[in-house]
Amino acid sequence: MEIKLNIIPEERKKEIALSNRLRMILQWEAGFAIILVIFFLLISSMYYLLTLNLDAQQSAVVNGKGKAEFEKVAKFNEDFKAANKQITTDESIQKDQLYWSNLFLKLNEAVPEGVSVAKIATKDYQVLLAGNAKTRDVLIAMKDNFSQEGCFTDINLPLSNLVSKDNIDFQIQFNIKEECVKNK
């Protein structure tokens, strides 16, 4: 007959039970980690094989039966690049385009009856207007109209143009604002 005596204190028994549980948990974690490593190795090998297969298919398309389609796509790509370049050039030209018709509309509103315009010259945004006015009052009225117009600045009507009372040959110089001759 065998008699077993357990003389281990209770605290030590609890420590032993906890260490046994910890060892079991560590064994499960190690097993789970091994399974995860195997899974990732399997996934990475599948990825590598699929990449090799894709490269082989692409080279077959380029070298073989899909060469005509590849050349069509390349031609379309070059055509799109050329069209985009042309559109960009056209847009930059249109952006800097001056619309002098806007100036003529403003002049039509500002030039009163009795004034005939014989010459218009422009340099950058500076305008020189030459012509004939029936009377001095009509010429002064035209200068006042130009002053009230928001697009015209730095209006210069020389005093020598105002010496005569009737049938006056004149020259008037003014600047036109950039936003008045550019479309937005």
Distance CA 49, CA 54 (A): 9
Clarify whether residues 157 and 107 are in a common domain: yes
Distance CA 146, CA 141 (A): 9
**Residue 14 phi, psi dihedral angles, 5° rounding:** -65, -40
Clarify whether residues 143 and 77 are in a common domain: no
Clarify whether residues 71 and 52 are in a common domain: no
Q: Report yes or no: 138 and 158 within 8 Å, Cβ to Cβ.
A: no
Q: Is residue 113 part of a domain?
A: yes
Q: Is residue 111 part of a domain?
A: yes
What does the pLDDT read at residue 66? 62
Distance CA 14, CA 11 (A): 5
Amino acid at 120: I
Q: Is residue 76 part of a domain?
A: yes
Clarify whether residues 90 and 105 are in a common domain: no
Clarify whether residues 123 and 142 are in a common domain: yes
Q: Which residues of the chain have pLDDT under 70?
A: 61-62, 64-67, 93-96, 183-184
Domain housing 52: 10-56
Contacts of residue 115, Cβ cutoff 8 Å, sequence gap at least 6 = 131, 132, 133, 134, 138, 139, 142
Q: Is residue 2 part of a domain?
A: no
Q: What are the beta bridge partners of residue 153?
A: 175
Distance CA 138, CA 41 (A): 96
CATH code of residue 106:
3.30.1360.100
What does the pLDDT read at residue 15? 93
What does the pLDDT read at residue 184? 54
Domain count, the chain: 3
Q: Is residue 1 part of a domain?
A: no
Q: Report yes or no: 151 and 176 within 8 Å, Cβ to Cβ.
A: yes
